[in-house]
Amino acid sequence: MLTGGITKIHSTLADGRELIYYDDPGSTLPAERAVDARDLDPRPAMATMRQDPLTGEWISIASSRQNRVVLPPADLDPLAPQTPTNPSEVPSRYDVAVFENRSPSFGPELGAIELGGVGLGRTAPSHGRCEVVCFSPEHEGSFGSLSETRARTVIEAWVDRTEFLSSLPGIQQVFPFENRGEAIGVTLHHPHGQIYSYPYITPRTQRLLDSIEQYGPTLFADILEFERGSDRVVLAGQHWTAFVPFAARWPLEVHVLPNRHIPDLPATTPEERDELAVLYRRVLRGLDALYDTPTPYIAAWHQAPVSVGRDAVRLNLQVTSPRRGESKLKYLAGSEAAMGAWIGDVLPEAQAEFIREGISRA
């Protein structure tokens, strides 16, 4: 049993992929779960990474993802519990379910690979693992629409999976995230997120490590003190602080930092997870209350790499949305997309006030 009375049950899908059920405390679901009796094709060949010599970055070419389901009707929801007419990915009814992605960008093979240096025509196997995290058996929703109990179960699943995935051979970084809304490119309305486990330290994190090397190991502590002294804080708790960052890129952008140094989700205490289940949902519900329709977003858990920077890189959640008005979206045009030179559309302090109003209404 995990913390908070949450239970975990292991299972296997018909093609050998791992499936884990995480049951809410006091769940009435049975301990025995149905067997996946589908006749599935073999898993697709693992993707291959190619290096971009202009940046040194590695690009995973995962062509099997072209075949994934796009916006199916509710009766063919691949993340809902299986029925006689819907041979979905999850055989039994569940509270929270996690399984290996059928068409992953990384994996399923594992192992350390040499990625240093820059050259032409360099390739490497896309080692790693990609998992799907189903937040609920319901067809529609998001993390913000969950109950406090269910949100706590999802957080416990993130903790458990991060700990496990970080222990796998060759994994350098673990990234839980949620994409919400068709404007973000979501292909399933079912409330869910994903977890990517990379064979390298991601470019964004590598740039963070470079900034820490220039600034010093107190970067995150100093950012938190700086932001807490500003009018950009949108919500503050005993363990977490949510704020619009000083140099926000997106029209809607909220960062959530723990009030003490924590490298990743497994390092959080049960009390910190309890508060997060409340505070994080309030942030998301506040974003949804800004307009008459739900706000599209990417919610990204930035965790310290598995083996470097753990004393300096602090766990942080970054929620970003391209929504810059009721019916307006920010598109990455020439400066942002081609040059990585961002132009903010709104003053961060004004957006913080706008988001605080949304949180109060929600």
Residue numbers annotated as active site: 192
Which value, in Å, is the radius of gyration of the alpha carbons in the chain?
20
Where would I find the H helices in the chain?
A: 148-166, 203-215, 219-228, 270-288, 339, 348-361
Helix/strand/coil for 68: coil
Q: Centre a 10 Å sphere on the Cβ of residue 206 and count the other Cβ atoms it contains.
A: 17
Give the separation between CA 68 and CA 61, rounded to whole angstroms: 15
Place of tokens 């890129």: 249
> Is there a contact between 279 and 218 (Cβ–Cβ < 8 Å)?
no
Give DSSP secondary structure letters for 315-355: PEEEEEE-EEETTEE----IIIIIH-----SS-HHHHHHHH
Which contiguous run of DSSP H or E holds residue 2?
none
Q: Centre a 10 Å sphere on the Cβ of residue 117 and count the other Cβ atoms it contains.
A: 8
Give the separation between CA 259 and CA 236, rounded to whole angstroms: 10
Residues sharing a CB contact under 8 Å with residue 71, sequence separation 6 or more, in sequence order: 182, 187, 188, 189
Distances in whole angstroms, Cα of residue 236 to Cα of each of 243, 305, 314, 357: 8, 26, 17, 15
Helix/strand/coil for 156: helix
Give the separation between CA 213 and CA 241, rounded to whole angstroms: 25
DSSP 8-state assignment for residue 40: P
